[in-house]
Amino acid sequence: MADRIESDSRKLLGRLRDALAEDSAGQARLNRIVGLIADSMQTEVCSIYLFRDTETLELCATEGLQAEAVHQTRMRLGEGLVGRVARAKTVTNTADAPGEKGFRYMPETGEERYSSFCGVPIQRLGDVLGVLVVQSKAARLFSADEVYALEVVAMVLAEMTELGAFVGEGAALSARHKRPVMFRGTIGQEGAVEGRVYLHEPRVTVTNPISDDPEAEVARLRAAVDTLRVSVDQMLSDAHEGGADQVQVLEAYRMFANSRSWIRRMEEDIASGLSAEAAVEKEQSLARTRMGQSEDAYLRDRLHDLDDLSNRLLRILTGQGADTGAAMPENPVLIARNIGPGELLEYGKTLKGIVLEEGSVGSHAAIVARAWAIPLVINAKGILTEALNGDPILVDGEQGIVHLRPDDNVASAFRDKIAMLAKAQERYASVRDLPAEARCGTTISLHMNAGLMADLPSLKGSGAEGVGLFRTELQFLIRNQMPRRSELSALYARVMNAADGKRVAFRTLDIGSDKVLPYMKPNDEPNPAMGWRAIRVGLDKPGVLRMQLQALLRAAAGRPLAVMFPFIAQLDEFRAARAEMDKALEREEILGHPLPEKLEVGAMLETPGMAFAPDAFFEETDFVSIGGNDLKQFFFAADRENERVRRRYDTLNVSFLAFIEQIVARCAAMGTPLSFCGEDAGRPVEAVTLAAIGLRSLSMRPASVGPVKSLIRRVDITEAKAVIDAARDRGEQSVRGAMMDYLSRLG
């Protein structure tokens, strides 16, 4: 019986291939295909619905429903049974469609006569392109074999849609990857850029989804799986040898690569008429759909592993390699689902912009984009399905909008915008060498955040007084092995040389959370942001911290040095870290190396508890720097990387401001120098507010120094404070409205 179904399905695919080979246009092809599916499946109705835009499905071809309904009947995603199949990305199979929850009656189609309904998503790698439906009068459930055959057909339809086999008149049949598309995402980093798409993970194209020689295809699949196994084993043995810690992930890869059920499913797909590539993609699509639906982080990770492994297998089969040969275009705009800071740093500063389908504003990848001052848009849903290497793209980081393959009008308006932004930059340049002195005479000292050698040239151009935060971990993230002390000390010396006497506050390693070193054991922690990270790692495993402190002392070679420890959560942690510094000093002295002429040892205040630390904390620290990114996430209990909750809470919320004021007061009472180095310091309205509540030193990404300085020079800090107090007296939750009114009154 199963053999018969397989051969039926193979026959159907064979007919499908013949139909596709005919020299007919998109609409005629679709009509022919629905006819032959209905005939092969012996159903009265077969219809194909395709998306005309991201939200609307359109009936594009039918056998059995009223012909007039074609291109007229539309439904929104989630609407009716067809919309439900598209949204849930799963099959709906029912003997009583009208009785089904969500059924929507479309009178123009005449479908009320049909009782049975089976709808299958036409999907490619987890992206739904449309829905394939069969219906019949007799009330019956379609068998598992029939549903499977439909899924196989839908898979082929998806590949053919991707390849442009059904291009015709009207929006629903327009060519994929050709039309202009706009994506509305979230602002990650301001700025505007015109460039060309460069895909982080190149798209593998499958041009031959159907095969009539299952034996040959199974042999190809098996050979490819063997190659895959060998390469995974090789990676695994390299990883073991290097003591690297991706071992766990690779073990999972090996498990999948040897999984009998994975291979069996693909062989079944081949037996039903698919090519080896299409079989891999079919299973990969299913895994992606499950990945999107699973709540279980562990399962999602494993499905992610399987996805990656499927990509490798596809590359072996298609011979397209990890590098598909796509050269990096001029003005490359990187498109990725998500990217870690290490991977991003590997691209270097060649990128002109970044667009992520997921991502988050608080992530360290976003911080890297900000350090590079290149526009970043995150949450651009659907861009990976649409974008092809080399496509023209406009990234509007000011509004979080991306135009892919823009038409001429959009592109020329966009160029005007770029010119306008350049003018604004010129204006900022004119205040570059002036102090950030408010009208009332208060001066705020502005510093920049850095972490890479490439950031240092900005020190001169930005108008910053020094580096208020040097994130040393970025240097560790760009390597694939732990740097040696001599390398580190040479690097820090270069940083100090480039700073040319300006102060650089080096922050010791903040590893953990989203900053994962490829050569350190990943910790499977349920909540890494609150886990074993930063100084906690530094104190528990002090080897690296010691090496870093020594490297810093050697680099200073007698010059002044400022070092701060990240994520201090209690007095003792600061004391223990400081003791490490004292030991390092002692050792250097014994070795006869020069000690810094002035040494400042500070702490980052990133955990709310430290605002209530004993006085000794503020006495013993030479300076304190508020890490606003972490402090805010813990203050509001809102993950900085979770877009859903991150934006609920305003930095200008009165509770948060009162809290910062308290830290300002404690530092003032003890005479401890205080600065603020989270991302908020670089936002002009936030910066003015922080100045108004008493901060006198702010550290931000280099590109923000100009805009912040311009605004500070136009305000009166005493007036701004009065505006804040009045808003608080009125019982407002956030002082943003009042500040915006005040600033707009200033013009």
Active site residue 677: yes
Among the residue ranges 78-86, 100-108, 619-627, 655-663, the one whose residues contact Mg ion (CB under 5 A): 619-627
What span, in angstroms and rounded, lies between the C-alpha atoms of 518 and 479?
A: 8
Q: Which of 71, 364, 403, 447 is catalytic?
A: 364
Cβ 341 to Mg ion shortest distance, Å: 13
- Please count the other Cβ atoms lying within 10 Å of the Cβ belonging to residue 330: 9
Task: Give the residue from 649, 737, 668, 661 showing the smallest Cα distance to 692.
Answer: 661
User: What CA–CA distance (Å, rounded) separates 386 from 380?
Assistant: 11
What minimum distance in Å lies between the beta carbon of 470 and ligand PEP?
11
x/- mask, ligand PEP, residues 347-376, rule CB under 6 A, reads --------------------x---------
Give the dihedral sign, CA 321/323/329/334.
positive
Total residues in contact with Mg ion, by rule CB under 5 A? 3
C-beta contacts of 736-743 below 8 A and 24+ residues apart: 736/650, 736/652, 736/685, 739/652, 739/685, 739/688, 739/689, 740/685, 742/715, 743/685, 743/688, 743/711, 743/715
Q: What is the DSSP string of 312-367?
A: HHHHHHHT--SS-SPPPPSSEEEEES---HHHHHHHGGG-SEEEESS--TTSHHHH
Could you tell me the smallest distance in angstroms from the CB atom of residue 704 to ligand PEP? 13
Residue 311 or 629 having the CB closest to ligand PEP: 629
Residue 403 binds ligand PEP (CB under 6 A)? no
Nearer to ligand PEP, 155 or 631 (CB): 631
- Vertex 731: Cα angle to 729 and 733 (nearest 5): 125
Asked whether the beta carbons of 533 and 467 are under 8 A apart, the reply is no
- Residue with Cβ nearer Mg ion (148 or 565): 565
Q: Using the minimum distance from each CB to ligand PEP, give the nearer residue, 122 or 477.
A: 477
- Interface with ligand PEP, residue 342, by CB under 6 A: no
Residues 6+ apart with CB under 8 A from 289: 89, 90, 123, 126
**Please, are residues 37 and 46 in contact by the beta-carbon 8 Å criterion?**
yes
| Smallest gap from residue 167 Cβ to ligand PEP (A) | 47
Tokens of 651: 């930095």
Q: Is 468 among the residues that bind Mg ion (CB under 5 A)? A: no
Residue 630 touching Mg ion (CB under 5 A):
yes
The least CB distance from residue 513 to Mg ion, in Å, is 8
The residue (of 146 and 473) whose beta carbon lies closer to Mg ion is 473
702 binds, options Mg ion, ligand PEP, none, Cβ within 5 to 8 A by partner type: none
Q: Which does 181 bind (CB under 5 to 8 A by kind): Mg ion, ligand PEP, none?
A: none
- Please report how close the Cβ of residue 699 comes to ligand PEP at its closest, in angstroms: 8
Strands (E), 504-616: 504-507, 561-568, 599-605
Neighbours of 582 (CB within 10 A): 11
> Contact with ligand PEP (CB under 6 A): which of 89, 282, 471, 683?
471
How many residues make up the chain in this entry? 747
Pairing outcome for strands 92-94 and 116-124: antiparallel
In whole angstroms, the minimum distance from the beta carbon of 344 to ligand PEP comes to: 15
Of 118-126, 176-184, 624-632, 709-717, the segment contacting Mg ion by CB under 5 A is: 624-632
Restricted to residues 612-641, the positions that interact with ligand PEP (CB under 6 A) are 627-630
Question: What DSSP assignment string belongs to 243-299?
Answer: T-STHHHHHHHHHHHT-HHHHHHHHHHHHTTB-HHHHHHHHHHHHHHHHHH---HHH
Binding Mg ion by CB under 5 A: which of 627, 628, 682, 684? 627
* Residue 46 bears catalytic tag: no
Question: Whose Cβ is closer to ligand PEP: residue 289's or residue 629's?
Answer: 629
By CB under 5 A, tell whether 273 contacts Mg ion: no
| 278-307: contacts with ligand PEP (CB under 6 A) | none
Contact between residue 417 and residue 397 where contact means Cβ atoms under 8 Å apart: no
256: which 2 tokens? 């999948």
Q: Is 510 in the site for ligand PEP (CB under 6 A)?
A: yes
**Among 137, 157, 160, residue whose Cα is nearest residue 149:** 157
d(CA 196, CA 193): 10
**Among residues 159, 190, 194, 606, the one that binds ligand PEP under rule CB under 6 A:** 606
Burial of residue 298, with CB atoms counted within 10 A of its CB: 0-12 exposed, 13-18 middle, 19 or more buried: exposed
Binding to Mg ion (CB under 5 A): which residues in 387-416?
none
Interaction with ligand PEP in 712-741: which residues (CB under 6 A)? none
Nearer to ligand PEP by C-beta: 405 or 701? 701
CA angle, residues 18, 22, 23, in degrees to nearest 5: 165
Pairing of strands 74-76, 697-700: unpaired
- Give which of ligand PEP, Mg ion, none residue 89 binds (C-beta under 5 to 8 Å, depending on kind): none
State which of positions 660-689 bind ligand PEP (CB under 6 A): 677-678
Active-site residue, from 46, 60, 118, 677: 677
CB of 664 to ligand PEP, least distance (A): 16
Binding mask 573-612 for Mg ion (x = CB under 5 A): ---------------------------------x------
Query: How many angstroms separate the most distant Cα atoms in the chain?
Result: 95
Question: Rule CB under 6 A: is residue 469 a binding residue for ligand PEP?
Answer: yes
- Would you please indicate which residues are annotated as catalytic (active-site) residues? 364, 677
What is the contact surface with Mg ion in residues (CB under 5 A)?
606, 627, 630
What is the contact surface with ligand PEP in residues (CB under 6 A)?
367, 469, 471, 510, 606, 627-630, 677-678
